[in-house]
Structure 1
Amino acid sequence: MEDRMLQIAPNERREILIAYSKLLRASSGILKWEDVKQIRKAIELSLDKVGLERSPSGKLSVLHSLEVGRIAVEEIGLGRTSLICALLYEVLRRSGASVEEIKQQFGEQVANIMDGLIKVFDLYQRNASIQSENFRKLLLTFAQDVRVILIIIADRLQTMRSLDLYNPELQLSISSEVSYLYAPMAHRLGLYTIKSEMEDLVMKYTNRDMYKFIAKKLNETKRARDKYIKEFIAPIQSELEENDLKFDIKGRTKTIHSIYNKMKKQKVEFEQVYDLFAIRVILDSELKSEKADCWKVYSIVADKYQPNPSRMRDWLSIPKSNGYESLHTTVLGPENKWVEVQIRTRRMDEVAERGLAAHWKYKGVKGDQGLDHWLANIREILENPELNAVDFIDDFKLNLYDEEVFVFTPKGDLIRLPKGATVLDFAFDIHSEVGKKCIGARVNQKNVSIRHVLQNGDQVEITTASNQAPKQDWLNVVVTSKAKTKLKQALREIQYKESELGREMLIRRLKNWKLDINDQLTGLLVKHFKYKSTNDFFRDIGIEKLDVVAIREFIQQQQKKETEREQNEIAQGVRSAGNFVSPQPEESEHSGDDVLLIDKNLTNVDYKLAKCCNPIFGDDVFGFVSVSGGIRIHRTNCPNATEMRTKFSYRIVKAQWTGEAAGNYLTAIKVIGEDDIGIVSNISQIISKELKLKMRSINVDSKEGLFEGTVSVFVNNNQILNTLIKKVREIRGVLSVSRIDAIG
């Protein structure tokens, strides 16, 4: 170990020693002397096997491993086994070390987790695109031992924290993957702090301007916000002390990502987002008196400030399925500002911050079964061999960010379902056979259809019929991944039976007409009758949607053409089909790492500017190969960029503008300001007279003393657009100006 350390630059040696010290401090409460020796052995193995190798950020791999290990212990709350696995992850990724070698040195438990980690790495090596059959295997590995995903989440978090050291292309790729999969997964596993940090960091690299804007605004308003929090807390703190409660009380600013989501959802500017922060009361309570103490605090808060009944959230009585317990209320504070107050105990706060690790630490506390049930459900879905990963990924994500409703069986058993779940979802949750035969239900003693959306507290009794069968439109009725998966499986079984029936029917009828069918002829028939697959073709014969007589006529025509062709070949001495060699397909012009250069006329390749983000000359862009074969040019911060990069990374093409800016690009800006009759005239004057731009349209809507306008203009490049935004922003009475992605 000492020899290896001497080969490392002095400043990096110091970094490694600091990271090692931090790791030991973070894990001091869970380690014995034997464990420390194991950790030293893991670091020595890392230095021996990967030595001076570096991650794409330029950091030494061993330093990255130490930082991941600290996150696993300190921020996720994992134990010694997971810590050793986190330290060894880079060793397996970057060296020839085997799982068997790890087993001999560190034991079977470490080896089992490492086996899961290396499977994940192998999947990424084969196909980095998430939307593939590999994704199912990836999640199956996670579900078998959830420590695998927790270590991967720690690894991804550390990567995101050092993402400024990566090149721009990798920044976008990694951010997209984290946004698409790992932030939602962290949320579902109860790791709220990590999920929030991931979302903020993703935004920092995918929507830089908005991130900087909100961060600057938060910094400017910090002093006033801190003063308000102090004033709000003071009377509550005094009352809690008088009631002999042991507590901590603090205010925390909401994340940049959550503030941006509120701005988008509520369609307001930063200044109009009222709940920029939340107050949290954390109690030191005995387990048996936790709920009573929380409600006592609620009573004190409600006495001091008027609560908003519609914003009350009780996760004490029935915790979320990821173990989250808390009492949330929104009250009217000083200066008539709404403030969110969260009330929980120390144990509940640890579960909220640490998620899964704390969930297992407090095993046996009511509410801990939800996460186990979710993981078991995921295993059941994933282990279905007929599952199509392309269909599964979107269904799976539905259940990552779910809000929940709680409903009851006739016997009083509690069933958790995502918000928006229907009677049919409930039926499939009980059993797939119940779902297939479902014709409706009695909800609270009233008859309802399978489409009925369930509400909190409903008592549900499913009604079935033996002659009922699943239907295609049921896929629009269900929302849970379990119901969708089971339903698709049932529909495939029905379609397969209909397809086999159609195949037998066609063979029998053709035999009567003394005609034969083979695979080549079947392919021609599928193409001629415009079907997507042979199964669809045979199925339509089975359900008598396709006339067999039309098939007979086509086969007879093909036979006639074949006979004529053979006669012509014999007459002309044409080479036989056996000597014919099909031409090799041309190599795709988009293969490799070439950059697609976009010229001013956009004529050198078949591509168009995407309507969802309307790129203009000068914007950072990329190409996306569409199903039709053409290429769509998107901005790198296009609203759809994350999904395209994660689901279809193999269709992404590097692109950049070339030559001089020329031609007109349609774009639009949104202007919000005080409702002044002269403001529209001033905007028009800047566009037409000062900048000499062609304006296509301007739409203005006034409400409560404010106007909101949308202006569509033609510009040569993004510099002119930025100049326009700057000049309009300087107009007196204008509150905000922003570029619009999609133009109607």
Structure 2
Amino acid sequence: MQTIEALSHRLSSYLEPNQINLVKRAYFYAEQAHDGQKRRSGEDYITHPLAVADILASMHMDYQSLMAAMLHDVIEDTGISKKAISKQFGSTVAELVDGVSKLTQIEFESHAEKQAENFQKMALAMANDLRVILVKLADRLHNMRTLGAMPPHKKRRIAKETLEIYAPIAHRLGMNDMRLEFEDRGFYAMYPLRASRLQAALKTARGNRKELVEQIQTAIEKRLGRENLTALVIGREKHLYSIYQKMRTKKKFFKEIMDVYAFRIIVDSVDTCYRVLGVIHNLYKPVLGEFKDYIAIPKSNGYQSLHTVLVGMHGVPIEVQIRTKEMDEMANNGIAAHFLYKSTSDDALTSSHNRARQWVQGLLEMQQRAGDSLEFIENVKIDLFPDEVYVFTPKGRIVELPHGATPVDFAYAVHTDVGNNCVACRVNGRLAPLSQPLQSGQKVSIITAKDAQPNPNWLNFVVSGKARSAIRHFLKHQRHTQSVALGKRMLSKALTELQLELEKLTEEQTLALLDATKMKSLEDLFEDIGLGNRVAYAVAKLLKPGAEFKGKTGSTHAPLTIDAGEGMMVTFARCCRPIPGDPVIGHISPGKGLVVHQDTCRNITELRQKPEKISQVNWAPNVSGEFLADIRVEVESERGIIATLATRITDQGASIEHINVRERDAHNSVIHLCIGVHNRIHLANIMRRIRNMSFVIRVQRSKN
């Protein structure tokens, strides 16, 4: 069992004596605080903080991180406050401890929400100090190592959380050794039977492969020796969880995955990496398209290496990674590899730290935009997937995006405003659809328009968390603004009918309204009315309880005017597709706001019995926007009818949304068209032009 003396001895190899004393002081403080507490395994509780500090010591972390590791459960489990820790050990250590502590004080709806809130708090703390996440990862690693004492359902829950969040974070920060241990331990806890079966199969396969691995290794070493290149060649084992993942995602058999032989070649300089690559490609033939240069373009977590796949003797595939000692250290320990030096010298603020900081900065942006912690964590999970695509801006800057990213993701990665105003894109100079997945190496330029807005359909294909959260944020804000404006108009109209004016309400009347509706502000009340969750007339009657509205809907006063075709809180019914110029009527639908129908629509008949839900609406004198209308065209069957018809319609400045053709018999067909028009006059002109065509028998506006 680890003792504080053994740890001190270990720390003496890289920390100053006074720093080691501070770590010891934190240990004795925690030991006292946790006095009498036991872990599930029966050991004294202090063994856990000590083990966490030991994991951090193996990464050569600084003394403040080690002090935070000793104290990380003190706030949560012993009732000692952050203030007390700050007084004893300084504010930096207290902030670290607070960042790692879970939110035990708040009651949550569900475990998922609790987990999400914890992660959100940790993300905020990470933004101030990245060491928070390293202490948290070490804490989780020791918990995974001592899972044995937990009941099965808890084991599975902790393992799931580790595989979904902590392993990808370790990967994102380049800490490969930790990620592998998280994944394998998580796999054993989640699926004990699958893991043990795979382990047995791996053991058997290893024995059968041994000879061939040695042969390939010897051949590589000999050839490098002949070229006077000093290198360390290591046969690389695939770990359990990655074999399982490949079998699942790529639908491959165990044998197919084990047929690949993997080696790592570690050299002294970047120059030698490329020389070794040349020698290896001379020894065995490389597989076309499998070479990747992560030295020139590092992965987003700072990982650098040359990757190539060769065809060896007997046609066996050989994967080779070539890297320097520093790159290997970076690949295994990631951001932790440089932590100690960072605190002492400025120039060592390495690229990995910058990358990690940028990532955390991105997390913060998402956190501010997300509606709640569950949405935030969903976006973070998307961003933790490791596969990247590297594309170029028109000026040659490299932008890293998750696998499957589209030009919309690229636009948001450049800047939120570019994403919000994006209308089209060029990929390698050619116009391309916004939903097309990007490939590494492509040059992407975004075309923007000043008044453009994000399209809700983008949520169906964007893959990056930043794009998803920015689009949702914009749509929520737009919905809020529009529903407040609509609700205000509706309440104002209802009050006018009671001889009251919204602008002239006294403070008592306003407070009485808010009190009766249990709303915090008038804006919230307007939004609720605009969303259709409350009826404006019912709210107005709260001020004059005995009052009666005149007419069926108080139609003596000015109806609501509709002045645009697009809006989130005013929608046009699909059953009758009203367009400017049609007599219209509106009804309030919960969550949708105002739904506008043609006055003659059959679907509105029942609603007329509930006058409070009906709203008088009118078109503004000059309505802007495009409105959909359905028309039915009977034609004599001829070749090329659709093309001629489409040309005639588009010549009139209308767009075609949908075409459906039904054959009646050998000679006649019926074509149903859904077209975008500006108003009734525009539609009448189009129908007249269609009627004049030689093959048209009849054209009419269809009512569903």
Give the TM-score normalised by structure 2: 0.69
1:116 aligns to what?
99
CA 1:40–1:367: 2 relative to 1, 3 Å: closer
Q: Deviation at 1:280?
A: 0.9
Change (3 A) 1:123 1:226: farther
Q: How far, CA to CA, are the matches of 1:557 and 1:304 in structure 2?
A: 81
Q: 1:670 maps to what in 2?
A: none
CA distance in 2 between partners of 1:125 and 1:23 (Å): 38
Q: 1:242 to 1:126 in 2, by over 3 A?
A: farther
> 2:277 — aligned with what?
298
SS in 2 for 1:245: coil
* Shift in CA distance, 123/259, structure 1 to aligned 2, threshold 3 Å: farther
- Partner of residue 633, structure 2: none
Q: Contact 1:423–1:441 at 8 Å: present in 2 too?
A: yes
Q: CA, structure 1 residues 230+208, in 2 after alignment: closer, same or farther (shift >3 Å)? A: same
Q: Look up the match of 1:259.
A: 243
Q: How many residues align?
A: 532
| CA separation of 1:124 and 1:274: change in aligned 2, threshold 3 A | farther
Partner of 1:573: none
Letter in 2 for 1:414: I
CA contact (8 A) 2:168 2:386 kept: no
Contact (CA 8 Å) 2:11, 2:20: kept in 1 or not?
no
Q: Which moved more, 1:347-356 or 1:270-279?
A: 270-279
Correspondence for 1:578: none
In the alignment, does 2:238 pair up with 1:182? no
Distance 1:466 1:534 in 2: 23
Shift of 1:38: 1.7
Deviation at 1:487, TM superposition (A): 0.9
Counterpart in 1 of 2:80?
97
The 1:239–1:120 alpha-carbon spacing in structure 2 relative to 1, beyond 3 Å, is farther
2:324 to 329, 345, 349: 345
**Residues 427-576 of structure 1 aligned to structure 2 (within 5 Å):** 427-511=411-495, 519=517, 526=533, 537=589, 540-542=592-594, 544=596, 553-554=609-610
The structure whose RCO (Cα within 8 Å, separation 6+) is larger is 1
Structure 2 residue matching 1:282: 3-state secondary structure = strand
Work out which of the residue numbers 271, 274, 284 in structure 1 matches 2:255: 271
SS in structure 2 at match of 1:412: coil
Q: Do the aligned partners of 1:203 and 1:211 also contact (CA within 8 Å) in 2? A: yes
* CA spacing shift, 1:475–1:243, aligned 2, 3 Å: same
Q: Which residue of 1 aligns with 2:290?
A: 311
Matched, 1:216 2:272: no
Match of residue 304, structure 2, among 325, 335, 338: 325
Q: CA RMSD in A?
A: 3.3
Q: Deviations over 1:536-580 (max 9, x none)?
A: 94774456479999777425699xxxxxxxxxxxxxxxxxxxxxx
Deviation of 1:31 after TM superposition, in Å, equals 1.4
* 1:580 match: none
Matches of 1:457 and 1:173 in 2, distance apart?
40
**Contact 1:422 1:452 (C-alpha < 8 Å) held by counterparts:** yes
- Structure 2 unaligned runs (5+)? 343-347, 501-512, 519-524, 536-567, 571-587, 615-704
- How far apart are the structure 2 equivalents of 1:399 and 1:549? 50
- The match for 2:66 is 83
The answer on whether the counterparts of 1:188 and 1:322 sit within 8 Å (CA) in structure 2 is yes
Q: Offset at 1:353? A: 0.5
Please state how far the C-alpha of 1:272 moved relative to its aligned partner: 2.9
Shift of 1:208: 1.2
Give the direction of change, closer, same or farther, for the CA distance of 1:214–1:26 in structure 2 (3 Å limit): farther
Percent identity for Structure 1 against Structure 2: 30
Contact 2:412 2:418 in 1 (8 A): yes
Instruction: Identify the residue that residue 144 of structure 1 maps to in structure 2.
Output: 128
Where does residue 137 of structure 2 map in the other structure?
153
Q: How far has the Cα of 1:265 moved from its partner?
A: 2.6
Q: What is the CA-CA distance between 1:270 and the residue it aligns to?
A: 2.1
Report how far residue 338 of structure 1 moved: 1.3
Q: Is the 8 A contact 2:49 2:69 kept in 1?
A: yes
Q: CA–CA distance in 2 between the matches of 1:203 and 1:89?
A: 26
**Alpha-carbon distance in structure 1 between the residues aligned to 2:404 and 2:352:** 22
Inter-partner Cα distance in structure 2 for 1:197 and 1:204: 11
CA contact (8 A) 2:124 2:364 kept: yes
Following superposition, the deviation at residue 527 of structure 1 comes to 9.3
| Cα shift at 1:132 | 4.5
Q: Distance in 1 between matches of 2:9 and 2:284?
A: 42
Contact 2:392 2:441 in 1 (8 A): yes
* Unaligned runs of at least 5 residues, structure 1: 1-14, 559-744
Q: Does 1:50 align with 2:34?
A: yes
- 3-state SS of paired residue (1:311): coil
Residues 556 and 315 of structure 1: is their aligned pair in 2 closer, same or farther, counting only changes over 3 Å? closer
Query: Which residue is equivalent to 2:556?
Result: none
The separation in 2 between residues aligned to 1:545 and 1:326, in whole angstroms, is 63
Q: C-alpha distance in 2, partners of 1:498/1:99? A: 44
In structure 2, the residue matched to 1:391 is 375
Deviation by residue 1:11-40 (Cα, 9 ceiling, x = unmatched): xxxx243xx355335433321211222222
1:372 to partner: Cα distance: 2.6
What is the identity, as a one-letter code, of the residue corresponding to 2:317? W
Letter in 1 for 2:364: R
Change (3 A) 1:77 1:124: farther
Letter in 1 for 2:336: A
The CA distance in 1 between the partners of 2:352 and 2:226, in whole Å, is 32
**Amino acid in structure 2 at the alignment position of 1:371:** A
Q: Could you say which residue in structure 1 is the equivalent of 2:364?
A: 379
Pairwise CA distance, 1:452: 3.2
Instruction: Give 1:695's aligned residue.
Output: none
Tell me how far 1:220 sits from its aligned partner. Answer: 2.1
Task: Give deviations 1:182-221, integer Å, cap 9, x for gaps.
Answer: 1111111111111111111111121111101111112223
Is the 2:261–2:316 Cα contact (8 Å) retained in structure 1? no
Equivalent position amino acid for 1:93 in 2? E
TM-score w.r.t. length of structure 1: 0.65
**Corresponding residue number in structure 2 for 1:401:** 385
Secondary structure of residue in 2 paired with 1:328: strand
Find out whether 1:38 has 2:19 as its counterpart: no
- The CA deviation string for residues 131-153 of structure 1, in whole angstroms up to 9 with x for no partner, is 65454333222333221111111
Task: Quickly say closer, same or farther: Cα 1:365–1:540, change in 2 above 3 A.
Answer: closer
Q: Which has the larger radius of gyration?
A: 2
Q: Distance in 2 between matches of 1:116 and 1:123?
A: 15
Matches within 5 A, 1:13-28: 15-17=1-3, 20-28=4-12
Secondary structure of the residue aligned to 2:289 is helix
Residue 321 of structure 1 and its aligned partner are, at CA, apart by 1.2
- Of 422-431 and 360-369, deviating more is 360-369
Contact 1:274–1:337 (CA under 8 A) maintained in structure 2: no
Deviations 1:280-332 (A, max 9, x none): 111123xxxx1x21111111222222221232222111001110001111222
- Partner-residue secondary structure (3-state), 2:233: strand
Report the AA paired with residue 109 of structure 1.
Answer: T
Cα 1:364/1:459, change in 2 over 3 Å: farther
Match of 1:358 among 337, 340, 360: 337
CA distance in 2, matches of 1:337, 1:51: 59
Preserved contact between residue 309 and residue 317 of structure 2 (Cα < 8 Å): yes
Q: For 1:355-379, what per-residue CA distance to the aligned partner results, in whole angstroms no more than 9, with x for missing partners? A: 1122555836667643332122112
Offset, 1:99: 2.4
CA distance in 1 between partners of 2:258 and 2:612 (Å): 75
Contact 1:35 1:80 in 2 (8 A): yes
Cα deviations by residue, 1:693-736 (Å, 9 ceiling, x for unpaired): xxxxxxxxxxxxxxxxxxxxxxxxxxxxxxxxxxxxxxxxxxxx
- For the pair 1:234 / 2:290, whether they are aligned, the reply is no
The answer to which of 483-492 and 221-230 deviates more is 221-230
Change (3 A) 1:242 1:60: farther
Per-residue deviation, 1:512: 6.1
Partner SS for 2:177: helix
